[in-house]
Structures are given as C-alpha cells and as structure tokens.
Amino acid sequence: MAFQMRGVAMSLDDRIEHVIYFKNHGVRAGTSLMHPHSQIIALPVVPYDVRARDEEARRYFDDTGSCVYCAMLEDELRDQRRVIIENEDYVAFLPYAALSPFHVWIVPREHHSSFLMVSP
C-alpha cells in the first residue's frame, strides 16, 4: 500500500509521465547499498521499452478485442509453471522470456489500466 500511495502522490505532479518501482540487491544490481531494498522513480518521460510495450498492448487489443495482460495472466494461471505466488487479489509470476534474472511481474487479478488504480 505504501508503494501505491507514494506513486499516486508522485503522479499528481504534472511533470511526471511514468512511475517505476523496482527492487535492488547488491553491487551487481547497480546499487551502492548491500541490503535488498526497493525504490520508486518518477520520470518526466515514458521510457522507450515501456512505450513500445504499451503500443503492442494496444495492437493486441485492436486485433483481438481483449487485454494482452489479462490474456497473459490467464495463460500463466492455467500453466502454473512460472507462477511464484498468488492470492485472491494478485499473482506474481516470471514472465516468459524474462528480460533479466529474477524479473517478476505482480499482476492484479482484477483488470485495471494502472497499478495506481487497483484496490489496496
């Protein structure tokens, strides 16, 4: 809930276009802190890879009439091989062909256009 509250507060600033949440651990992850920690970054631009993913999600919707993330969640729940943990509200899974080691997606079961809009 703290992540969401901070993200909402950051997004109220008109200069902010994108909020990123991530977890770091150790020098190999690019951090100066040795203990695992999470960070939030608010950016005035949408990173290219995020914009490209959004464009592909729109294309998928135009082609199929459904949300690619909802379809991905259904596939992962059916297959179960990459699901790490789930509860009644969220599912955490390793995306197929993940971009990096330990890359995890946490997806709400209820469709929303933004993490900032999901129920706590």
Catalytic residue IDs:
37
What's the chain look like in SS3?
A: CHHHHHHHHHHCCCCCCEEEEEEECCHHHCCCCCCCEEEEEEECCCCHHHHHHHHHHHHHHHHHCCCHHHHHHHHHHHHCCCEEEECCCEEEECCCCCCCCCCCEEEECCCCCCHHHCCC
